[in-house]
Chains A and B, each alone.
Chain A
Amino acid sequence: MRTSDLLRAAAANTVRSKLRTTLTALALVVGAFTLTLTTALGAGVTDYVTRQVDSLGAQDVLVITAAPPTAAAGGDPVAYDPETSTPAAASANPLGGGSAALTDARLEQLEGIDGLAVVEPVTTAALDYVGVGAARYLVSIDPTSSIGRADLLAGAQLERDAAELQLVLPVGYVQALGLGDPAAAVGTVVDLGLTDVLGQPREVRARLVGLTNPSLLGGGAGANAALADELATVQAAGVDAPARYAAATARFDPDDAGALAAVKEEVAGLGMTAQTVEDQLGLLTTVISGITGVLSAFAVVALVAAAFGIVNTLLMSVQERTREIGLMKALGMSNGRVFGLFSLEAGFIGLLGGVVGVLAAVAVGTALSAALSAGPLADLGGLDVLLFRPGTAVAIVVLIMGVALLAGTLPARRAARQTPISALRYE
């Protein structure tokens, strides 16, 4: 029998008992539907988080903070040591917990560690406002924004080495400052107001180079190194107070995982914490993959149930078609082809269930995603809760066909092993 004829026969047989095929495929539809949604959810959130990670810092950058005592290993209380312990302070980073300040002496210690390069303090300035003309609004600058990549809605990234004072702002400021639409706002020169250590109000002018999407992780503005330095200098007002930094950044070799671990350990030995941007988001991504994992497990349960449904349906079908099978074998159809016919029928049910399930999930998911973006999640621009990827959709259909084919082997074997006479004698 030709493969094309076998395919046609398998399709015709599946379509023949419509109700039964539909019911069998339904369980697969549920599995495909759930799996598509959970993978899309995982992809959507991961994609968003990845962009946020990029906005927190480059991949080869360690953010070093003075380790807060309680955040050391496993949460065990840490004994006070006048040599290494630093006073704890509240952190602006919602993920980092408390942190203490770094001093120049500390930075020198870090410079001495092998594998760390370009140790730079993260200077922070307490801004009073950002303003254009009379419009003035509160603003804060993300400490690590100068080394990060912003999740941009319009404009360009901060230039790390530019002498020009550059600023990116969350897009929400555009309207507040009366700058029209985001594209037009890029390039505007804005005033940054601050109070120096002597209590005098001061202003620094910076050019707005980009506008960021509203963010889950840091809603602040970003300044390039030149602007951050300028702000710190203006704020210090020439007074030579001992410098205290919220954090320091340093470069490492991202391709050498062993070296990274060693560096982290060495930094920890000095009573400080070194974290990659991924570390900083570790908990968040763990939670997200945990949730999608549990949801996917439900989908897999549905698929297992569906597999038994297919076994059952096809066994019934083999039983019913005993005479048909017997006749085909009597007329010279080989065992292999009989096996192939029933396997293909299983595969066809799988294809049907998979395609319908995936399409339904994309349709429902797209509507849901749009509703969420317009409603509850409107504040998180750039977040597509559900991200459907064609590759994933194809993979899910293939997976479900695989499950169906696997489930089909038992009935197909039974069909292939029938002897023609027992089938021909069957009443």
Chain B
Amino acid sequence: MKTSPAAQGPPLLRARSLSRWYGSGADRFHALTDVSLDIHRGESVAVVGKSGSGKSTLMHLLALLDAPDQGSLLLEGADVATLDRRRLDAARNQRFGFVFQQFFLNPAQSVLENVVLPLTIAGVARPERHRRGMAVLEQLGMADKARNRATALSGGQKQRVVIARALVGEPDLIFADEPTGNLDSATGTVVEDELFALHRERGITLVVVTHDEDLAARCRRQVHVHDGRIVSDRLGDAA
């Protein structure tokens, strides 16, 4: 599915001169300085850079998990700063899917319960939750593990559970922060394949934070971050 981003209306996300700093006075540390970028529907964007360059900081801002100290962020043309907290919560819950640097699975709950967490938060009824959770697990080949404790899984299986959790709410956009960082390269490749398959088949927008050049190369667009600034933003030929 190849679409021209410019052909669609306002971008899904538009960042305008975002800055984010920590601390104050002389100790103030600029984690992100004057970052502008648009993300359109159906894109796959890799945010690349060295450790500590500000990739996660940028992703958290784009994902409405954090607020910038300067600049503004538009979600489908609406300034996020003007939206109330409930709208932001709803956007994260229903429009976004998350794959974090760590798995963040609840060891006290079953795989299925972990997967359907976004639906539980959204207030979807139990039978419906289970049906949708099982459908996603089925798709990722994990249906037989649904009743397992989330901790009793291999790393690759855990990451698949995390992807199932990101998918279950049928989001428009998935944020993935180092999705393969915790995995050996073989398992990492499998997980990457799954993510890009979803991107292709369903047109889900992907924002992938990584310092893995191979993973970055699979995205259509690479944004390089260095010391809190975007140093390059180019369209490559995605595999």
Contacts and interface: CB of A to CB of B under 8 A. Distances in A.
Q: Do A and B come from one complex?
A: yes
Interface of A: 1-2, 5, 12-13, 16, 323-324, 326-328, 330-335, 337, 419-421, 424
Nearest to B125: A2
Contacts of A5: 120, 123, 126
A332 B120 contact: no
Contact of A324 (B60, B106, B120): B106
B118 interface: yes
Nearest to B98: A330
Which of B94, B100, B121 is the most central at the interface, judged by chain A CB atoms within 10 Å of its CB?
B121
B92 A331 contact: yes
A47 B231 CA distance: 86
Chain A interface mostly: helix
A13 B126 CA distance: 18
The 3 closest A-B pairs by CB, nearest first: A332-B93, A332-B89, A332-B92
Given A2-B123, A331-B98, A337-B121, 9 more contacts: A1-B120, A1-B122, A323-B102, A327-B100, A330-B65, A332-B94, A332-B118, A333-B93, A335-B85
Nearest to B117: A331
A332 B98 contact: no
Contact of A333 (B63, B104, B121): B121
B86 interface: yes
A332 B96 CA distance: 10
Contacts of B89: 332-334
Nearest to B118: A331
A424 B100 CA distance: 8
Contacts of B92: 330-332
Contacts of B121: 1, 328, 331-333, 337
B239 interface: no
Interface string B86-114: 10011111100010101010101000000
A16 B107 CA distance: 10
Interface of B: 60, 63, 65-66, 85-86, 89-94, 98, 100, 102, 104, 106, 108, 117-118, 120-123, 125-126
Contacts of A335: 85
22 contacts: A12-B108, A13-B108, A16-B108, A323-B104, A324-B106, A326-B104, A327-B104, A327-B106, A330-B65, A330-B100, A331-B118, A331-B121, A332-B90, A332-B92, A332-B94, A333-B89, A334-B85, A337-B121, A421-B60, A421-B65, A421-B66, A424-B104
Given A327-B104, A421-B60, A1 B123 contact: yes
B55 to A, nearest CB: 13
A337 B90 CA distance: 13
Nearest to A323: B104
B24 to A, nearest CB: 17
A2 B126 CA distance: 10
Contacts of A330: 63, 65, 92, 98, 100
B65 A420 contact: yes
Given A421-B60, A421-B65, A424-B100, A332 B122 contact: yes
Contacts of A2: 120, 123, 125
Contacts of A326: 104
A335 B90 CA distance: 13
A332 B120 CA distance: 10
Contacts of B86: 334
A193 B93 CA distance: 94
A16 B109 CA distance: 10
Nearest to B97: A331
Contacts of B66: 419, 421
A426 to B, nearest CB: 10
Contacts of A331: 92-93, 98, 117-118, 121
B138 to A, nearest CB: 22
Contacts of B102: 323
Nearest to A1: B121
A203 B44 CA distance: 116
Nearest to A13: B108
A13 B94 CA distance: 25
Nearest to A328: B121
Contacts of B108: 12-13, 16
Contacts of B98: 330-331
A323 B108 CA distance: 13
B103 to A, nearest CB: 10
B76 to A, nearest CB: 17
B117 to A, nearest CB: 6
Contacts of A420: 65
Contacts of B100: 327, 330, 424
A335 B88 CA distance: 12
Contacts of A332: 89-94, 118, 121-122
Given A335-B85, A424-B104, A328 B117 contact: yes
A424 to B, nearest CB: 6
A424 B122 CA distance: 20
Contacts of A334: 85-86, 89
Nearest to B63: A330
A79 B100 CA distance: 94
B235 to A, nearest CB: 30
A327 B92 CA distance: 11
Nearest to B177: A424
A328 B108 CA distance: 15
Nearest to A324: B106
Nearest to A6: B120
A331 to B, nearest CB: 5
Nearest to A2: B123
A326 B63 CA distance: 14
Contacts of B106: 324, 327
Nearest to B89: A332
Nearest to A15: B108
Nearest to A426: B102
A5 B120 CA distance: 7
